[in-house]
Amino acid sequence: MVKSLPALTAILFAATSAVPTASQAQDVNSVRIAYADLNLASDAGANVLQQRIRLAAQVACGYEDSRQYDVMMATKTCRTKAVAGARPAFEAALATARHPSVTVGAAAAIIVTAE
């Protein structure tokens, strides 16, 4: 078992650094975005949260710098879907922040998921 540990580590490293393919479409990656530090009642705070969501979609879908058209399009589609999937939580966070009787706690976060 001990002798197989370096081989297993190498396989896991290779798997995590591989370029995503259509066969990996069933895998799901999620990124948690905290926003308790933002004033979502302001346009500036809402814009920062939108930027965080876009960056989280890049992380969840992977940083793809391929010149293969199908891989580029799959990455773009993944990011678009991830941002769209976070949209209801984003809108709910804005509505909550703009309602004066609700306090947003330190655990306030949005989960951006790539499929």
DSSP H helices, 2-104, are 4-17, 43-61, 69-97
Tokens of 77: 């589609």
pLDDT tens by residue, 18-65: 334 343 444 568 999 999 999 999 999 999 999 999 999 999 998 777
CA pair distance 87, 67, nearest whole angstrom: 29
* pTM value surpassing 0.75: no
For the chain, the structural domain boundaries read 22-114
